[in-house]
Amino acid sequence: MKRTKLLIVAGITAALGAGVLYAQAPGIKRTELQDRDLSVPGRHVVQARVEFEPGAVVGKHTHPGEEISVVLEGSLLLEVDGQQPRTVKAGEAFFIPAGVIHAGRNAGSVKGVVLATYVVEKGKPVATPVK
């Protein structure tokens, strides 16, 4: 009974965490492509297509695991704590280590599209905003 309650709470937490990741910010459209358990215990992968209209911003946040992404169209200004801001263009990939604060915005004049892959801990929010 106790284990069942724990599993239910973990499932609700994961669902709420996915909601934080997929909440639609102005000028940003996120489409979840897949959310799958991995063979690595306690981990799952989430993939999403993220479209940034010109000027759209994803504020500072972290992930409880790694983000591995590639820009499919346009460009993204990426700000990662401890690094100089950099522009990532179509065809280029970027990697964000677990727990590292980062943000992104489309500083260009055309839509930017990113394929984002998150390998994260199960039961934790996929993204957590940082103030």
The confidence score (pLDDT) of residue 29 equals: 95
Full domain range(s) for residue 8: 2-129
The confidence score (pLDDT) of residue 20 equals: 45
- CATH of residue 73's domain is 2.60.120.10
Please state the domain count of the chain. Answer: 1
Residues 6+ apart with CB under 8 A from 124: 13, 14, 17, 64
pLDDT by residue, tens only, the chain of 131 residues: 554 343 333 343 343 344 444 456 799 999 999 999 999 999 999 999 999 999 999 999 999 999 999 999 999 999 999 999 999 999 999 999 999 999 999 999 999 999 999 999 999 999 999 98
The confidence score (pLDDT) of residue 28 equals: 95
The full length of the chain comes to 131
What is the pTM assigned to this prediction?
0.80
